[in-house]
Chain A
Amino acid sequence: MRISVQSFWLPKAGNRLEEYEDAYWPHEPLEGAERARFRCAVADGATETSFSALWANQLVREYCRHSSLPRFFKTLPRLRREWLEHATAQPLPWYAEEKVRSGAFSSLLGLTIERATPEQNQFASWNVVAVGDSCLFHLRAHRLLTAFPLERSEEFNSRPYLLGTNVLGDKRLHGHVIHARGECAPGDTFYLMTDALACWFLRYQEAACEDCADMTFDALAEIRTQEAFADFVQEQRSQRDAEGKPALRNDDVTLMRVEIAL
C-alpha cells in the first residue's frame, strides 16, 4: 500500500503564525511511501484555554506513536504531567496561573489505515477515533463515502466537548470518544480537517446547487502547496453568504490529505 500525505495550515486572520493552535502529525509530507500501516492525526487546541497548542501537539504525536488506541489512552496521565511541567516551568502572573489550573483542551482526530492480510477480501481497512469536532471525510471517485464524527454543518458550535489536561474536565470522556471503521481502496482520498474548514466542506455538500459538492472536491484536490492553500483560505474567508456570514469562519485552519495507491 502506498501512501501520500500533504498537510496545510494557517492561523486565524489577524493572529501571528506562532499563535496557530491546531496541530497535525506527521509533519513531513509523504509521496507514495510504501506502508503496511499508517497513522495520522489532527487536533485543534481551544482558543479559550492556555497552552492549548502544546497540548494539541502532544496529542497528535502520541496518537501516531502507539499501535493501539488503549495504549494511547494509557499515556494520557503522563502527557498531562508533561503539559503541567512545561506550562509551569516559568513563574506565571495570576491570570496565567488560573488558566493553567483550569487546563488546556483540544479536539483529537486520529486515523489508522492498515493493508489487509491476504485472507481478507479487501485492499485495506481504516479506523478513526474522534473527540470533539475535527472531522474526517473519505472520498472515492468524487463521492463522499463517510463524514465523521459530524455529518451536518449545523452540528458545529463553539462549545464542543474536548480532551483536557485537567482530569476533572474529563470525567465523562468515555462517552465522548467516538469510533468508526471501514474499508478503502486504491485511489481513495481521506481529508482530515479542523472545524472551520470541515463546516465549510459540509455546507457545500448540503447546498442546493448541483455541482457544489464537486466544486469542493476539485478545490481541495487542486491544493498542492501551502501558498495555494493560503490563497484558497483567504478567498473563502472573504466570500459572504446571503446572511453576510463568511463562507469560511475565521479560525485556525488545518487540512491533511491522505491518498491511497496500490
Chain B
Amino acid sequence: MPYTAEISRANPSCFLFLIDQSGSMEDPIPSSAGAASEGPSASGPTRTKAEGVADAINRLLQNLVIKCAKSEGVRDYYHVGVLGYGGAVKPAFGGALAGKELVPISEIANSPARVEERSKKVDDGAGGLVEQKVKFPIWFDAIANGGTPMCEALNRAQAILTDWLTQHSGCFPPIVINITDGESTDGDPSSAADKIKSLTSDDGGVLLFNLHLSSQRAAPIEFPDSEAGLPDKYAQLLFRMSSPLPEYMRGIAQQEGFAVSENTRGFVFNADMVSVIRFLDIGTRPSNLR
C-alpha cells in the first residue's frame, strides 16, 4: 500500500521547495490573496509576489520545523532543500547553509537568517482576542530578478531527488512544493514535472504540489479537484502538473474540513499551503491541537 512508510529519523523523508525568484515576481498581488494573510507575517496591501513567496517559504519551513520539534530538540524526520530560480537555478539558503542542496531539518531550525518578533492575535479563552508576541524565523527575503527557468528548476529537482532516492529507497516519497506565478520562460514545464512524478521510492511516487501566486484578482482556491473555475492558463497548467493527494492525505484533509475527492490535487491559488504540513503523519496529533 503506497504512502504508508513510517517517517522516522532512521527512515527520513524529503521536502524540496522550488521558489520562483524571477523579475515578474515584483508585480503586486491583490491584498485579499491569502498566501500568508492569516499568519503573523501578513503585510500591507502593496505586497509583491516576491514577498508572497518569501512569506510562503518561511511559513512552510517554520511549520515543518515545529512539527519535528520535541522537548529535546528537532528530530530529523525530513531532509529539506530550497532551490531558487530566477537569474540562476541554485540552492537558495544563505549563511551556514549556503550552497547545500539538502540538509536535515534540525540544521534549518537552528540557522534562520534572523528571528523577528511579531504580534499575533490569539483567543483569550473568554471569547476575545489578545495580542501575543511570537518569534518568527526568517530564512528568505523577497528576491526578484531574471527570467523564470521553471523547466531547469524542475530538472535540477529531479536530479537531486534521484540521488536521494538511491540512498533512501524505503522512504516515504519526497514532496516537492513549487511556489511560483507560473510564467515559465524556458518552455512548457509539463514534461519536466512528469519526470519528477515518475520517480518512486518503494512506498510510492514523488509528489509535486504547486502554490500559485498571481496578480489576478480572483478568490483564493485551495486543493481543487478540477481545472474548471481556475482563473487563468497558468493556474490550469500548474493544476495539471500537480499530483493528486494520496488517499491518506485526503483523509486528513477531510478531517480538517477540506472538501476533497479522488481528483483533488496538491494545488493552491493565492492561498496558504501550510495545511500540507498538517497532512503529514509522524505520529499522534491531537484533534484539539490549535
- In the complex, whether A161 has a CB less than 8 A from a CB of chain B is yes
* Interface contact B9-A14, CB-CB below 8 Å: yes
Stretch of A112-120, A164-172, A184-192, A227-235 with 4 or more beta carbons under 8 angstroms from chain B: A164-172
Contact check: which of A48, A87, A98, A162 meets B288 at CB < 8 Å?
Answer: A162
The answer to whether A50 touches B286, judged by C-beta atoms less than 8 angstroms apart, is no
Q: How far is the CA of A105 from the CA of B115 in the complex (A)?
A: 27
The complex places the Cα of A14 from the Cα of B67 at a distance, in Å, of: 18
The stretch from A88-96, A144-152, A200-208 touching chain B is A88-96
Across chains A and B, the number of contacting residue pairs, with CB separation under 8 Å, is 109
Q: How far is the CB of A5 from chain B (nearest CB, A)?
A: 26
Given A243-B1, A245-B4; A95-B65 close (CB under 8 Å):
yes
**Chain B residues within 8 Å of A102, by CB:** 289-290
- Counting chain A residues whose Cβ lies within 8 A of the other chain, the interface size class is 35 or more
Confirm or deny: A74 has a beta carbon within 8 angstroms of a beta carbon on chain B.
no
User: Would you call A105 and B286 a contact (CB within 8 A)?
Assistant: yes
Do A14 and B135 form a contact, CB below 8 Å, given A93-B110, A158-B285? no
Cross-chain contact B287 with A160 (CB below 8 angstroms): yes
CB-CB contacts below 8 Å: A47-63 with B? 47-51, 53-54
Contact check, B1 vs A159: say whether CB atoms are below 8 A apart: no
A87-B71, A95-B65, A99-B69 known; A159 vs B282 contact (CB < 8 Å): no
Q: Can you list 14 residue pairs at the A/B interface with Cβ under 8 Å?
A: A14-B8, A14-B10, A46-B285, A46-B289, A48-B286, A50-B69, A94-B137, A95-B74, A161-B286, A164-B289, A169-B286, A169-B289, A170-B288, A245-B1
**Taking beta carbons and an 8 Å cutoff, which residues of B are in contact with A?**
1, 4, 6, 8-10, 62, 65-67, 69-72, 74, 109-110, 112, 115, 122-123, 125, 132, 134-135, 137, 252, 255, 281-290
Q: Write the residues of chain A forming the contact surface with B, with a CB cutoff of 8 angstroms.
A: 14, 19, 44, 46-51, 53-54, 87, 93-99, 101-103, 105, 158-162, 164, 166-172, 195, 243-245, 250-251
